[in-house]
Structure 1
Amino acid sequence: MPHQTFPHEADIGVRGTGATLDEAFAGAALALTAVICDPATVVPREALTIDCAAPDVELLLVDWLNALIYRMATRHLLFARFEVKIAGTRLHATAWGEPIDVARHQPAAEAKGVSFCELKVCRQADGQWLAQAVVDV
């Protein structure tokens, strides 16, 4: 799943791309994990279902990433695999992951929330979808 992080002052940007909006949102979620640890170290053992709705797709991205951050914080989980289905401005997703193992995952940061800074969800000139936001760490 194409994803990347990018520097942003004291915070970190997350970016996902894909042939579909679903893939771009899944990529942004994987980039969120990459802010915390190497996603390759996370075993997708447990599945959680997440549903979000928002007035537009940009706010939907914020809600989606914040829902993941909330579940990571309250359930002490990290996620490595995502299946996202978006219909209009509603999202239904499954995230697979496992409990945090500090020795194995070696978390480098704690994601606190998603800001509206550099928030962008759009189809690019090459036809690929882009979903990006900045995460407060």
Structure 2
Amino acid sequence: MTYELRDHTADVAVEATAPTLSALFAAVADGLTAASCESVPAEGGDRFAIEEAAESREALLFDYLDRLIYERDVRLVLPADHECRVTPPGNAAGSAWRVEADARGVPLDAVSAREIKAVTYSEMTLERREGGDDGDGGDGEWYAYVVFDV
């Protein structure tokens, strides 16, 4: 999985690709971390869990990233080293898309981070390319482009 930061008029964008939807969510979250801080300590901070549900993949990605920003503000940590598992509707998840994730919370006083104010729907793209499947396996690639308000 990979991500790149992209300049965006007064904001910052993350462009990411991954072989699975779960890996894509983690890559975009890693991009959010990189947009917040140039260098994250390799150690330190406790892991914490997040669960979100939404009616669509796009809404789930938005809600997940918004929750990471909320956790940063409440816990006073920079979420890093993201791990995600996305479940499509119809499985044990019921009628909603779900993400079960965890991240390492690096104390904000241990990093020099800029504030990311919010995730936006502006220009958000989440799509399957080259034959990726709707769940979490299969061949192909997933692509996302997400703009953050700084």
TM-score by length of 1: 0.89
- Structure 1 residue 16: deviation in Å? 2.5
Residue 116 to residue 84, structure 1, CA distance change in 2 (3 Å): same
Q: Where does residue 111 of structure 2 map in the other structure?
A: 105
Residue 69 of structure 2 aligns to a residue whose secondary structure is: helix
Q: Where does residue 45 of structure 1 map in the other structure?
A: 45
1:114 aligns with 2:119: yes
What CA distance in whole angstroms lies between the structure 2 residues aligned with 1:121 and 1:52?
17
Residue 41 of structure 1 aligns to a residue whose secondary structure is: coil
Checking the alignment, whether the CA contact within 8 Å between 1:44 and 1:81 is kept in structure 2 is no
Name the structure with the higher helix share: 1
| Structure 2 gaps, min length 5 | 89-96, 132-139
- Structure 1 residue 14: deviation in Å? 1.5
Residue 26 to residue 115, structure 1, CA distance change in 2 (3 Å): same
Q: Where does residue 5 of structure 1 map in the other structure?
A: 5
Checking the alignment, whether the CA contact within 8 Å between 1:61 and 1:131 is kept in structure 2 is no
With 9-18 and 59-68 compared, the bigger mean Cα shift is at 9-18
What CA distance in whole angstroms lies between the structure 1 residues aligned with 2:125 and 2:44?
28
What CA distance in whole angstroms lies between the structure 2 residues aligned with 1:8 and 1:115?
12
Checking the alignment, whether the CA contact within 8 Å between 2:24 and 2:142 is kept in structure 1 is yes
C-alpha offsets along residues 33-68 of structure 1, whole Å, 9 cap, x if unaligned? 111112543535311110111111011110010000
What CA distance in whole angstroms lies between the structure 2 residues aligned with 1:39 and 1:15?
19
With 28-37 and 122-131 compared, the bigger mean Cα shift is at 122-131
Query: Equivalent residues in 2 for 1:124-135 (5 A)?
Result: 124-125=129-130, 127-135=140-148
Checking the alignment, whether the CA contact within 8 Å between 2:12 and 2:148 is kept in structure 1 is yes
Query: Equivalent residues in 2 for 1:1-137 (5 A)?
Result: 1-41=1-41, 43=43, 45-88=45-88, 89-101=97-109, 104-107=110-113, 109-125=114-130, 127-137=140-150
TM-score by length of 2: 0.82
Question: In angstroms, what is the RMSD of aligned CA positions?
Answer: 1.7
Quick check: which has more Rg, 1 or 2?
A: 2
**Residue type matched to 1:106 in 2?**
S
Residue 68 of structure 1 aligns to a residue whose secondary structure is: helix
Checking the alignment, whether the CA contact within 8 Å between 2:40 and 2:111 is kept in structure 1 is no
| Structure 1 gaps, min length 5 | none
**Residue type matched to 2:31 in 1?**
A
